[in-house]
Structure 1
Amino acid sequence: MSAHGRELARMVLDGHRQNSAGGVLFEGRDRVLDRTKVLQELRTLGSVLAPHLGDVVGILGDNTPAWGLLDLALLENGCCSLPLPAFFSDRQLAHTLTASGCRLVIAADGDRIAGIAPSASVHARIVVAGESWTVFTIDDAAASPLPPGTAKITFTSGSTGAPKGVCLSATAMLRVARSLATAAQCDAQSRHLCVMPLATLLENIAGIYAPLLHGGTVVVPGAARVGMTGSSGFDAARCLGAIEQTRATSLILVPATLRALMHASFPGDPRLRRLRFVAVGGAPVTPDAVEAARSAGWPLHVGYGLSECCSVLCLGTPSADRRGSVGRALPHVRLRVAADGGIEAAGSTFLGYLGEPPCTDEWVATGDLGTIDDDGYVFVHGRRKHVFVTAFGRNVNPEWIEATLQESASIAQAVAFGEGMHRCRAVLVPAAGCDADDVAAAVARANAQLPDYARVGDWMLADTPFTPANGCW
């Protein structure tokens, strides 16, 4: 584990040293970190992390230079990096810590860790890139066997209440980062603005490793400054201001944020003049939406991937684009379509799921149906599983929401949906003797148990119960 993680950190830092023009790796809201400052910070963090060689170490914090430094420091010191999404519910975060056998957590929000992990004790308080972070030890953590070579565990957003841990090697992450850096035309003038949470694998690899490999700067002013709240709240006007103020040349969007930005901007908007490459993925986006965005001045390109393949598999580029496709496979990827129409991938596959036997198959079934044309362009036609993907790229199992709703005595039946939507929706059958006010209270109670991306935003009452007789059972 240690040697491979160190190799990834070294390749990223060496790549930046060789290709950078100004030497700046990270730029935050009020702090700029060049190579000298980064190396100083990494040395300081090394003294904290050295005793934890091979341990799983969690990071919980905002999109700031400190997050990027901590992630690189974990790799460099042979720890297994565990990004903790702040938008997870407390229950999901507690599950993540327990399932991974996490022994150390470095958090900007120490109160939250103290609340969800009663056995956690404060080990130290440190300053990283000018920010205060708390280091917690979890003494009763039960070590979870990891596949050999695991350098990072990324937990999916969770199609059910218990997210799955995907174990990734440093080698696979480096392959993807190199491919993305080339496809997105990263260079010393690149200024990538991180909009998505760094705890999501896509922004972690494509937003940090890829730009740095080719000498670019990672711009991380914090979620609030780019208009992000949780996993699904978004202020497009604030984001447009950040794009202009930070002189961003690239960013990663999901369809929901793209639509919001288009509505808040206008064709030829000068705030977009420095953008060179904008990737969109995580959920389906229509060809018409792509063309409309490009006509309005967004240099938009569609991508496709999944955590089990270390994020991105395909990406459209200025020189390789076809209407309706998600681009061609990246250089490190091999794709094929199985007899049942399912897309399968090889080239950067995961090591296995946490707590399950290691993955030994070279090919991974993506769970998506699709086709590949004679020129290598990939077209995704939908999901095989009973899971919908929200407009913010979160995978949600409707049965999870339905079961949570139906825990209330006020709701007899529930059907949840939300494919491509900003908010999950539901059609509800009230229990006998209950009215709309009772149901509204029950929805509020259910939402309090769910993470923000799975909460029911809109609902309506069904005229009649779902029965086999009316074809709704």
Structure 2
Amino acid sequence: MQEAATGLLARVPPGTNVTDLLLARHRQDPQQALFAVKKDGVWTDVSAAELLGQVSALAKGLIAAGIRPGERIAVMSRTRYEWTLVDLAGWFAGAVVVPIYETSSAHQVRWILQDSGAAAVFAEDAAREAVVREAMEQLPAPLPVYRMSGADPDLAALGAAGAGVPDGELERVRSLATLADPASLVYTSGTTGRPKGCIITHGNFAELALNTAEFLPGILKEPGARSLMFLPLAHVLARAVQVICLAAGVKMGHTASMGELIEDLASYRPTFLLVVPRVFEKVYATARQKAQAEGRGRIFDAAAAAAIGWSRACDARDRGTGPGPGLVLRARHALFDRLVYGRLRAVFGGEVRYTVSGASALSPKLAHFFSGIGVPVLEGYGLTETTAPAAVNPPGANRIGTVGLPLPGTTIRIAPDGEVLIRGIGITPGYFHNDEANREAFTGGFFRTGDLGALDEDGYLTITGRKKDLLVTAGGKNVAPGPLEDALREHQLIAQAVVVGEGRPFVAALLGLDPEPLAAWLAAAGRPPLDLDDAAGDPAVLAELQRAVDEANLQVSRAEQIRKFAVLRRELTEESGHLTPSLKLKRSQVAEDFAADVDRLYR
């Protein structure tokens, strides 16, 4: 199949915008809890009426501060309830909201403020405010900065300052924007070159939200549905999901610190979660390492095999290619459910019925593992330019290994060279003030994703790699690095894997160690800790990594297998400049910084 499409399930009335989603929810039930805020360890619900009152007050403050419809306001903050307030209040005031990752440098912040023409900035705390003020030193004029939290936050004062703005004026500016008008400028994460401001319209958010709610009722319309957001709201995926939850009436909570995540999952008990693959990889590796340290490694591995086998058997049954789990597998699965799986489900809060994985590829093995333990994984696909979700696996029709069906109002086409092209309600109208990028990004009304993929006979999309990431060895063999890298990252010691081999005689890899699992692995062997420099040359570590490479090589042909690897002596992180804020690998930067390591592999 070369093209698949899903028709619209809901239509957004003309003359409305994304703010009408909150108003509609308020009209339906003013007392419905739409958010929960953690205060002193206790989750306190925020009703639709309370939310609307807080948003309206802050929006009036923005109007009183001189923000005009169409002007841009920037937000630099971790994921928290105040982020949501500023986002919604900005839209109610007619503004265009510009997210900035909380980890951004002053140089990155300066570019976004300058390129977007921001009129004001909201900074989470004193530390982010300091970065913003440093960034503004080279701007033509300083911008007003409002602190969102800390000892003396500005949000309450800003809301109080807007008390004199009439309700009629707020309603006038709120209703000015049409579905075609910008709601946000989301800057691409910059895996290649300088970030571009991607225009996300009111229609992109609103139409996607209403149609996704209708497409996934088993997740979003279940009584008592609630989710905990811990991914950065600066990422369009998290933000789009939050708007979807608002449209569907799903109660949302926020976790600003990953250090608090486990505690918050246990107390909030979400029914579904938005997760990136690295979270699954870390949970699996940590659980396996803990089991090995406690002398239960064989039990864990047997339980993992049973979970994966169970999920694969169920997947085959659902596709009509198998009978489902057999008697012996059912018995083993039931046994391990009592011994192992329940404790793993508790990590996610104990009540998660579904997880949605996005942002990057998840290995089928891990998807089967988590689905098999009772934490079903529905993988989806999208980009900033598609307002995140463009395809997803629906509950009851999940096909692990694929990223699902086109969302309603979306058409996916496979170009002759294998590139995935997308047209639909979530597609950006273009990049802000960047005609050259716009010309390159579209063809015949379709957005060029840069990803390679295939559609099966039922319209399920499988992503096979990136056009720019494909390696061509000296022997002419095309190699997609993604599957090998995904398999390598499943190992507890490996945080990052970078497959290389462009124009070289064979495929090789750079491996980055994960310090915490490394320390635990060494301790389990009765050995003292090693820093990354020493570990990179340690015979036992190298032997363990070779086993990981050998296992990954089983998934590909001989010509695609990794022949040699090098261990990096420092971490690949966002701070080091090798990962984007959404944890995507900056291949060009890695290739530049570790060119000597690559050259040594081929001497």
- Shorter chain as denominator, the TM-score bin is 0.7 to 0.9
Determine which of 437, 443, 454 is the counterpart of 1:371: 454
Partner of 1:281: 358
Structure 1 residues 111 and 365, CA, compared in 2 at 3 Å: closer, same or farther? Answer: same
CA gap of 1:59–1:254, structure 2 versus 1, over 3 A, is same
Structure 1 residue 322: deviation in Å? 1.6
* Change over 3 Å in CA distance of 1:346–1:420 after alignment to 2: farther
Q: Secondary structure at the match of 2:399?
A: coil
* Separation (CA, whole Å) in 2 of partners of 1:114 and 1:170: 30
Residue matched to 1:86: 102
Once the two structures are TM-superposed, the CA of residue 323 in structure 1 deviates from its matched residue by 3.1
| 2:278 equivalent in structure 1 | 256
Q: Does 1:175 align with 2:175?
A: no
Structure 1 residues 124 and 94 mapped into 2: Cα distance closer, same or farther (>3 Å)?
closer
Amino acid at match of 1:116: A
Tell me the distance in 2 between the aligned counterparts of 1:153 and 1:349.
13
Secondary structure at 1:353 match in 2:
coil
* Separation in structure 1 between the aligned mates of residue 224 and residue 150 of structure 2, nearest angstrom: 23
| Structure 2: gaps (5+ residues) | 1-12, 159-178, 288-339, 471-480, 490-495, 499-507, 516-531, 533-567
The answer to whether structure 1 residue 132 and structure 2 residue 153 are counterparts is yes
Aligned pairs for 1:38-53 (under 5 A) are: 38-50=51-63, 51-52=66-67, 53=69
Higher normalized helix content (fraction of residues): 2
Distance 2:24 2:511 in 1: 42
Quick check: 110-119 or 6-15, which moved more? 6-15
Q: Cα distance 1:280–1:148, how it changes in 2: closer, same or farther (>3 A)?
A: closer
Distance 2:247 2:106 in 1: 35
**Structure 2 counterparts to residues 326-341 of structure 1, below 5 A:** 326-341=403-418
Contact 1:82/1:152 (<8 A) preserved:
yes
Distance 1:449-1:102 versus aligned 2 partners, 3 A rule = farther
TM-aligned CA distance change 1:380 to 1:149, over 3 Å? same
Q: Indicate how the Cα distance of structure 1 residues 256 and 451 shifts in structure 2: closer, same or farther if over 3 A, else same.
A: closer
Residue 12 (str. 1) matches residue 22 (str. 2): yes
What's 1:315 paired with?
392
Contact 1:15 1:213 in 2 (8 A): yes
1:350 to 2:385 alignment? no
Aligned residue-pair number: 406
Q: Secondary structure at the match of 1:49?
A: helix
Letter in 2 for 1:37: E
Give the stretch that moved more between structures: 322-331 or 123-132.
123-132
| Counterparts of 2:365 and 2:263, CA distance in 1 | 26
Match of 1:247 among 254, 261, 269: 269
1:382 aligns with 2:465: yes
Q: Does 1:110 align with 2:136?
A: no
1:429 maps to none
Residues 322-344 of structure 1 show CA distances to partners (whole Å, capped at 9, x for unaligned) of 23111111112111111111111
CA distance 1:17–1:65, shift in 2 (3 Å): farther
Which of 205, 216, 230 lines up with 2:240 in the alignment?
205
User: Are 2:268 and 1:268 aligned?
Assistant: no
Structure 1 gap ranges (5+): 137-146, 228-237, 399-415, 426-438
Tell me which moved more, 126-135 or 168-177: 126-135
Q: State the secondary structure of the residue aligned to 1:28.
A: strand
Instruction: Assess if the C-alpha contact under 8 Å between 1:190 and 1:211 holds in 2.
Output: no
Q: Residue in 1 aligned with 2:228?
A: 193
Deviation, 1:89, is 2.6
Would you say the 8 A contact 2:129–2:147 is kept in 1? no
1:148–1:216 CA distance, 2 compared to 1 (3 A): closer
Sort the Cα spacing of 1:323 and 1:124 in 2 relative to 1 into closer, same or farther, 3 A. Answer: closer
SS state at 1:267 partner: helix
Cα pair distance change 1:421/1:302, threshold 3 Å: farther
Q: Partners in 1 of 2:62 and 2:83 — Cα distance?
A: 15
Question: Does the 8 Å CA contact 2:578/2:590 hold for their aligned counterparts?
Answer: no
- CA deviations 1:123-146 (Å, max 9, x no partner) are 47577899814799xxxxxxxxxx
- Taking a change above 3 Å as real, the CA distance of residues 148 and 181 of structure 1, as seen in their structure-2 partners, is closer
Question: Equivalent residue of 2:18, what SS?
Answer: helix
Question: CA separation in 2, counterparts of 1:297 and 1:420?
Answer: 31
Using the TM superposition, give the Cα deviation of residue 362 of structure 1 relative to its aligned residue in structure 2, in angstroms. Answer: 2.3
> Would the alpha carbon gap of residues 122 and 378 (structure 1) be closer, same or farther in structure 2, given more than 3 Å must change?
closer
Which amino acid in structure 1 is aligned with residue 132 of structure 2? I
Q: Is the CA contact (8 Å cut-off) linking 2:122 and 2:147 kept in structure 1?
A: no
Shift of 1:171: 0.4
* Superimposed CA distance per residue, residues 95-136 of structure 1 (whole angstroms, 9 cap, x where no aligned partner): 111111111111123222112112564747577899814799
Structure possessing the higher radius of gyration over alpha carbons: 2
Q: Secondary structure at the match of 1:82?
A: strand
Q: CA deviation at 1:369?
A: 1.1
Amino acid of the structure 2 residue aligned with 1:349:
I
Cα deviation for residue 173 of structure 1 reads 1.4
Rounded Cα–Cα distance in structure 2 between residues aligned with 1:365 and 1:24: 40
Alpha-carbon RMSD across the aligned residues, in angstroms, is 4.0
C-alpha spacing 1:127/1:67, structure 2 compared with 1 (3 Å): closer
Q: How does 1:420-459 map to 2 (within 5 A)?
A: 447=576
Change (3 A) 1:418 1:36: farther
